[in-house]
């Protein structure tokens, strides 16, 4: 595992932000953006900030494995957020963590997505998040690390709480 931020480094980076957000709560409200455009075949090109990703249908719905699947991308976002959050929590608490492997898997019934069975759900039925933690931690520390990671992981909390989503067309 790459060297984690030292506790003091993380605290010094976050202290002025926390102070500002306490004094000016509206400053903590940030709108994130994502954009995509339809591209060749049944795909959508999405700008990630680092690269252009071409998302398409999952192979179980007739798509090509050459394109990213948005369901996989959702799980990847969950893994990324949970991993970053766990790293920050471990650093903040000074836990001796050497390495962490984060895995997410989810079950989909493609009959719903394809409209084969109207009773079949569209979307993930179950998502499982697993942390393989290598470190000198007590059972209580390990439980605290997972609990706080779950508490502060933006993607996990968003999936769990299902915020309202509005759609518009121009």
pLDDT tens for residues 88-105?
999 999 998 999 999 999
Angle at 12 between CA 102 and CA 89, to 5 degrees: 25
pLDDT tens for each residue of 31-40: 988 999 998 8
pTM: 0.89
Cα 65 to the chain's mean position, in Å? 22
pLDDT tens for each residue of 120-134: 999 999 999 999 999
All domains in the chain, ordered by first residue: 69-161 (3.30.300.20)
d(CA 3, CA 39): 40
């Amino acid at each position: 595992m790459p060297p984690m931020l030292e506790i003091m480094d993380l605290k010094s980076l976050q202290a002025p932000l926390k102070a500002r957000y306490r004094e000016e709560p509206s400053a903590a409200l940030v709108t994130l953006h994502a954009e995509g455009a339809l591209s060749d075949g049944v795909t959508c090109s999405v700008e990630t900030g680092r690269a252009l990703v071409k998302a398409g249908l999952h192979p179980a719905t007739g798509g090509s494995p050459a394109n990213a699947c948005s369901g996989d991308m959702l799980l990847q976002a969950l893994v990324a957020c949970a991993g970053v959050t766990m790293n920050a929590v471990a650093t903040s608490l000074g836990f001796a963590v050497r390495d962490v492997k984060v895995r997410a898997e989810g079950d989909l019934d493609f009959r719903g997505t394809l409209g084969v069975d109207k009773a079949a759900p569209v979307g993930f039925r179950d998502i499982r998040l697993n942390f393989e933690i290598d470190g000198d931690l007590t059972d209580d520390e390990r439980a605290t690390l997972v609990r706080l990671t779950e508490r502060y992981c933006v993607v996990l909390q968003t999936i769990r709480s299902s915020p309202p989503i509005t759609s518009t067309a121009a």
